[in-house]
Structure 1
Amino acid sequence: MFEEIYSPVQKIAFAPFNNLFVKRDDLIDPYISGNKWRKLKYILARAKAENKTHLVTFGGAYSNHLVATAAAASRSGLTATAFVRGEEVKNEMLLLCNLFGMKLIFTDRESYRDKHKLFEQNFANDAKAYFIDEGGASAEAIIGCAEVIGELTEPYDHIFCAAGTGTTAAGLLKGIQQQGLSTKLHIIPVLKGGSFIRDEIAKYTPLSSHLDLHLDYHFGGYAKTTPELINFIKTFTAQSGLLLDPVYTAKMFYAIQNLQQQGIIGKDEKVLAIHTGGLMGLFGMKDKF
């Protein structure tokens, strides 16, 4: 359903790093970018195999996943509906969803908690409807994310990735295990109380010494920022030419820098950061800049 696309690895000039590389999954597609492309790749293949033609998913008003699902459905000749958490709003992300033909159902936060119930209440009689969890979390998504590791042509001492649900992290760990690598995988939860991500990873692949979770780089919680983080984004982008989003990738790169400053990551060790896209998240924080 998607063409096979392999994102490049690019060396980034950003002091004080000597060996910082970035897997540019943000370049895969402008709307189905980064880990969203990888998660949806096999989800849509399964939906097609089951003769489903209506994708039903979930997300917040600034969800990159919603835009990605809307775009993927449109290109694949499918229809799509999204339950949007919270009161009805208009923004750049939802505009794109509308343009791609996605139907939006704004849902109060209490009802939104039980996504399977919402699906059953609204689509129990729609044999063509296919449930896609928030963020694309699924066994199919794990397979797609694991392919990142198989695409690498050089070894790395450390691989970093930001995490919200743990799906991408589980895929990366599974890929490392499948390839028999000694690489250390560092996961940066972007929300408070991110230790649950370890349990989410364990649902899909055995935990191992390859995995480190760093819980202190959430900057107040999911989609929260501080002036320090915003200043870091401005400096990093000006020096490297690489755009970051405040929700995920900025927190990851800040963590890499901080861990190196602490000596946890050696100055000359080879570090690969997974750029998971999500740059449209900048629209939701334009007032911060």
Structure 2
Amino acid sequence: MFENIYTPVQKLEITPFNNLFVKRDDLIDPYISGNKWRKLKYILEKAKSHNKSHIITFGGAYSNHLVATAAASARLGLKSTAFVRGDEVKNEILLLCKLFGMTLIFTDRESYRDKEKLFNNHFHHEDNAYFVDEGGASAEAVIGCAEIVDELIDSYDHIFCAAGTGTTAAGLLKGIQKNGLKTKLHIIPVLKNGSFINEEILKYTPHSENLVLHLNYHFGGYAKTTPELFNFIKSFTARTGLLLDPVYTAKMFYAIIDLQKQNIVNANDKILAIHTGGLLGIFGMKDKF
């Protein structure tokens, strides 16, 4: 299932940009899309190599990571279980998880904070259980995300990516360093006080002057939005035909356009945006469109 994959790079015609491109990782798979596929690639390979047959992971009720893990586990013949943060609910995302055979354990927010304890309390007796952190954060995930840069045929002045945990960002920076590129990497944290992402990146890669974090595009915090952001999504998608999700990619593209207006990014520079997928997250906010 995890063969090498090369997603297309598409040019976007948006005034005033002359060289704005997007790497369409959202096209990898309808359920294991974008950076979820990249992260899980080596995580699940490692699990199988250690003869682990039961994947245990974590996420919220609208987590794309849960769907991706459930789908990938099913295709590899692995059992999967997820600790779901919050009260028991039913929605489209969790329905997909169940259809892919995932067992859901709803967990109060206080208990959810200690994921290692949850894992040990429930699965200490099970030798085949394998811990996968929320969002897939791990060294294996960083290696998978670094391959995004390996796939690029052309060089770019700037690469943009949204970030929640910093794992994808770390992979991109590792790929830039590995390939000896001078590309500036712009990271858009999607939650308040996102400066910690710099520290997360440095767990996996050396410091680089080419790394820039833009901290003012969180729109209130993780999975938080504003009417301005929803209007942007509707306008952007109608103009380009490219779907965005409200949690990650919409904030990234809003930032790219706003940074150009501030002359921080030149409209003539060659810019690549990484579309990290996650489009199922739209269902969590369908009443706002």
| TM-score, normalization by structure 2 | 0.99
Would the aligned equivalents of 1:64 and 1:281 in 2 still touch at CA under 8 Å? yes
**CA apart distance, 1:29:** 0.3
Distance 2:29 2:202 in 1: 30
Q: What pairs with 1:201-280 in structure 2 (closer than 5 Å)?
A: 201-280=201-280
Distance 1:14 1:223 in 2: 26
Would the aligned equivalents of 1:14 and 1:236 in 2 still touch at CA under 8 Å? no
**Counterpart position of 2:61:** 61
Deviation per CA, 1:216-273, whole angstroms, max 9, x where unpaired?
0000000111111111101100000000000000000000000000001001000000
| TM-score, normalization by structure 1 | 0.99
**Counterpart position of 2:6:** 6
**Counterpart position of 1:143:** 143
Distance 1:213 1:225 in 2: 20
**CA apart distance, 1:5:** 1.6
**Counterpart position of 2:158:** 158
Aligned with 1:4: secondary structure? Answer: coil
Q: What letter corresponds to residue 96 of structure 1 in structure 2?
A: L
**Counterpart position of 2:19:** 19
**Counterpart position of 1:96:** 96
**CA apart distance, 1:16:** 2.1
Cα RMSD between the aligned structures?
A: 0.5
Distance 1:123 1:267 in 2: 53
Distance 2:4 2:77 in 1: 19
Distance 1:207 1:86 in 2: 36
- Give unpaired runs (5+ residues) of structure 2: none
**Counterpart position of 1:173:** 173
Distance 1:123 1:15 in 2: 54
Q: What letter corresponds to residue 117 of structure 1 in structure 2?
A: K
**Counterpart position of 2:187:** 187
Q: What letter corresponds to residue 211 of structure 2 in structure 1?
A: L
**Counterpart position of 1:118:** 118
Say whether 1:83 aligns with 2:83.
yes
**CA apart distance, 1:3:** 2.3
Would the aligned equivalents of 1:161 and 1:273 in 2 still touch at CA under 8 Å? yes
Would the aligned equivalents of 1:174 and 1:205 in 2 still touch at CA under 8 Å? yes
Aligned with 1:55: secondary structure? Answer: strand
**CA apart distance, 1:117:** 0.3
**CA apart distance, 1:15:** 2.0
Aligned with 1:135: secondary structure? Answer: helix
Runs of 4+ residues deviating >6 angstroms: none
Distance 1:177 1:256 in 2: 23
Would the aligned equivalents of 1:26 and 1:34 in 2 still touch at CA under 8 Å? yes
Aligned with 1:204: secondary structure? Answer: coil
Deviation per CA, 1:39-62, whole angstroms, max 9, x where unpaired?
000001000100000000000000
Aligned with 1:165: secondary structure? Answer: coil
Q: What letter corresponds to residue 30 of structure 2 in structure 1?
A: P
Would the aligned equivalents of 1:25 and 1:275 in 2 still touch at CA under 8 Å? yes
Q: Percent identity?
A: 77
Aligned with 1:228: secondary structure? Answer: helix
Distance 1:23 1:11 in 2: 9
Q: What letter corresponds to residue 70 of structure 1 in structure 2?
A: A
Say whether 1:281 aligns with 2:250.
no
Distance 1:22 1:271 in 2: 8
Distance 1:225 1:207 in 2: 31
**Counterpart position of 1:38:** 38
Distance 2:108 2:12 in 1: 43
